[in-house]
Chains A and B, each alone.
Chain A
Amino acid sequence: MAPLVSLRGLRVAFDGVPALRGIDLDVMPGEAVGLVGESGCGKSVTWLAALGLLPRQASVTGSVLLEGTELLAAPAQVLERVRGGRIAMIFQDPASSLNPVHRIGTQVAEAVALHQGLPRGAARAEAKRLLDQVGMPDAARRMDAYPHELSGGQNQRVMIAMALAGRPELLVADEPTTALDVTIQAQILELLTELRRAHGMALVLISHDLGVVAETCERVAVMYAGRIVEEAAVDALFAIPRHPYTKGLLGALPPIDGPRGPLASIPGGVPDPSAMPPGCAFAPRCPAHVQACDVAPPALLERDGRASACLLAA
């Protein structure tokens, strides 16, 4: 099967400082991929770059193919049709992602009118249907509410309803539950999974939370300092992590049972993007570090259906 979206050698730099240092990633139609890593590793930048949403001073190179169409050099009109129409995106803080001065019904109807070309009345009816579909309680009445009158979870439902308006083939959810309470978190993740199955939509879930990804995704890509360091099926990755960074991340998960103890962490800090180590970016923090690690950044190599960018990956 051909991938829906295919990123090749995607690089981004802000004022000459690299933020992404060559991303290769495929997303198959209908699949759920998790993108994990700590803040600043380039998870969000990857998808903002793919959709041409970065500010002008960002330099973006490489290739972003959407079913064979190159998006990186695409004219504005093509990108506008892709955004929301084929690839939709939702963000971390739903309250600030909505326009505070428009009623939510108007905002959802705006997205519907844009992508489905419906007249005003029909767009509103479809907006109400979408709000029902994403589980907005009392949707008919809430159409007239402003974002500041809704809870965080409800606002995220509004964002998801707007994302569905374009019937996208891929939904990129950028930390969609980070700003929400734990119980609401579970509901939103469940909703995303349900909608993905119902619409045959692919999902890219960007998260720093391994647990969230494990529950929702089929495949995971772990990012570190602007590169993908390991990529595998969820079960395989959690069972046997190969990259020392992934091992560190899994080791840092607090145990569910047993006595409370100090949280494990990976020693050291993320390297300064303007002064990257010559070899593997993780080498300075790596417990398995050998001299060969400092020669060049190791390539992401595939072996038995999974890949890792480590010389010592077993």
Chain B
Amino acid sequence: MGILATGLGQGLAITFGLFLLFGAIPGDVVDVLASAGDLDEAQQAAMRAELGLDQPAWRRFFAWVGAALAGDLGESQRFGQPVGPMLWEAAGVTLQLGALSGAFGIVLAFGLCLAQAAGSRAARAAVEAINLWSIALPTFCVGVAALLLFSVWLGWLPAIGGLLAPVVILGIDNAGQLAKPLSEEVAEVAARPHVMAARARGLAPLWLARWHILPLAAPVAVSLTGVMLAGLLGGTLTMELLFGLPGMGALVLNGIQGRDQPVVLAGLVAAALAIVLVNALTALVQGLLDPRQSSRD
């Protein structure tokens, strides 16, 4: 219950913050439309009144929140389409990219660390390698290189709309950030007395790694997985733009360029709520992993 209330409070605060931030951007949608055609001052004022842009920020905020809670995200001020379906479609693309690359990264990081816990030195070296890779190479650089290599020169992958390259690039990037701290934790747990005692009972290395090392090393990685998944929502943006995927990142970026407040707001609030949800889930999983945490609460 505590987690839920905290999450709700955070969601509301973030929404209001975003609202103020958007207000701080110079110009609004009327300016954007006016710059394209010929609207005179009176027409612009009338348009602002119609869209409610002449109201004070707090009033617009509550009007928007009220409508959003009732399920109405408003209409795109630029395109006149309802925001809900636009968001839904874009979220599908982003979720697919995020879920696939997140899963790939988690499986890769935990797989390597499991092998390391079972005594593989090659796995430890691989962790170092992907960690260096993820620090040294920004995903957009790798993305451009991958486009050139696989799409332009080799012609193996489509240049637009393909999921494989962005999933692998984001996955390795995430695995690198996740595997390094997990690997250090694994090395620390492996030196604890209960692991020696378990080895002295004749347990095989892989069993030992799975039941007596990894579960104790995992809490750190679970917190980091939360951070990673949250970061992934931003990380998908570059991939979406680079690989021509019509996702949330692309939607929000276009919305900002057009000062299309309802679209931007809905997109960012959805992302923020997703992050709040991920954090709550992280806390929940940690409680399940370590019985000492839940009995302490």
Given A98-B194, A99-B212, A159-B197, does the pair A115, B290 have CB atoms closer than 8 Å?
no
- Is there contact, CB below 8 Å, between B202 and A166? yes
- Pick the interface stretch among A88-96, A227-235, A239-247: A88-96
Complex CA gap A51/B202 in Å reads: 10
Contact of A97 with B by CB under 8 A: yes
Task: Report A46-96 residues with CB < 8 Å from chain B CB.
Answer: 48, 51, 53, 76, 80-85, 88-91, 93, 96
Binding site of B, secondary structure by majority: helix, strand, loop or mixed?
A: helix
Alpha-carbon distance between A165 and B197 when the two chains are bound, in angstroms: 14
CA distance A276 to B143 in the complex (A): 61
- Bound form: Cα–Cα A15–B292 in Å: 38
What's the least CB distance linking A168 to chain B, in Å? Answer: 10
CB-nearest residue of chain A to B121: A56
Is B59 an interface residue when CB atoms closer than 8 A count as contact?
A: no
Chain B interface size range: 20 to 34
B203 at the A/B interface (Cβ < 8 Å)? yes
In angstroms, how far is the closest chain B Cβ from the Cβ of A169?
14
User: CA separation between A148 and B294, bound complex, in Å?
Assistant: 13
Selected from B199, B201, B203, B290, the residue in CB contact (under 8 A) with A101 is B290
Q: Tell me, yes or no, whether A162 is within 8 Å of chain B by CB.
A: yes
Those of B172-209 within 8 Å (CB) of chain A: 192-194, 196-205
Q: In the complex the two chains form, is A97's CB within 8 Å of B201's CB?
A: no
A197 lies within 8 A of chain B by Cβ: no
Q: Are A93 and B193 in contact (CB under 8 A)?
A: yes
Which residue of the partner chain, among B194, B198, B201, B290, contacts A166 with CB atoms under 8 Å?
B201
| Known A100-B292, A101-B216; contact A162-B201, beta-carbon cutoff 8 A | yes
Q: Does B37 touch A at the CB level, under 8 Å?
A: no
CB <8 Å contact, B200 and A88? yes
Interface centre among B198, B201, B204 (most CB of A within 10 A): B201
Assess whether B199 is in contact with A114, with CB atoms less than 8 Å apart.
no
Given A91-B193, A91-B196, A93-B193, do A100 and B216 touch, yes or no (CB 8 Å)?
yes
Given the known inter-chain contacts A99-B212, A101-B215, A146-B291, please indicate yes or no for A51 contacting B200, CB distance below 8 A.
yes
Q: Which residue of B lies closest to A87 (CB)?
A: B200
* CB of A102 within 8 Å of the partner chain: yes
How far apart are the CA atoms of A166 and B198 in the complex, in Å?
13
B200 and A146: CB pair below 8 A? no
Does B289 interact with chain A (Cβ within 8 Å)?
yes
With an 8 A cutoff between CB atoms, is B153 at the interface? no
Residue B211, interface by CB 8 Å = yes
Q: How many residues of A contact B (CB 8 A)?
A: 33
Q: A83 to B196: give the CA distance in the assembly, Å.
A: 11
- Contact between chains at B216 and A84 (CB < 8 Å): no
A 135-189 contacts with B by CB, 8 A: 146, 148, 159, 162-163, 165-166
Is A31's beta carbon under 8 Å from chain B?
Answer: no
Q: Are A114 and B202 in contact (CB under 8 A)?
A: yes
Using known A-B contacts A101-B215, A101-B290, A110-B211, determine if residue A80 contacts B193 with beta carbons closer than 8 Å.
no
Measured between beta carbons, the chain B residues less than 8 angstroms from A81 are 202
With contacts A110-B211, A146-B292 taken as known, whether A97 is within 8 angstroms of B194 at the C-beta atoms is yes
A307, CB-defined interface residue at 8 Å: no
Contact partners of A85 in chain B: CB under 8 A = 202
Return chain A residues, CB-CB under 8 Å to B204: 80
Pairwise interchain contact B197-A97, C-beta atoms closer than 8 A: yes
* Residue of B whose beta carbon sits closest to that of A90: B197
Say whether A114 contacts B203, CB under 8 Å. yes
Given contacts A101-B290, A146-B291, contact A84 B200 (CB under 8 A): yes
Among residues of A, the one whose C-beta sits closest to the C-beta of B199 is A53
Which listed residue (B198, B199, B202, B205) contacts A99, Cβ 8 A?
B198
On chain A, the residues within 8 Å of B200 by CB distance are: 51, 53, 83-84, 88-89, 91
**A-side interface residues toward B, CB under 8 Å?**
48, 51, 53, 76, 80-85, 88-91, 93, 96-102, 110-111, 114-115, 146, 148, 159, 162-163, 165-166
- 16 more A-B contacts (CB under 8 A) besides A89-B200, A101-B215, A101-B290? A48-B196, A76-B205, A81-B202, A82-B202, A83-B199, A88-B201, A97-B196, A97-B197, A99-B194, A99-B198, A102-B211, A114-B201, A114-B203, A162-B201, A165-B201, A166-B201
A and B contact pairs by CB, cutoff 8 A, 24 listed: A48-B196, A51-B200, A53-B196, A53-B200, A80-B203, A82-B202, A88-B200, A90-B197, A91-B197, A91-B200, A96-B193, A97-B194, A97-B196, A99-B194, A99-B198, A99-B211, A99-B216, A101-B290, A101-B292, A110-B211, A115-B202, A148-B292, A159-B197, A162-B201
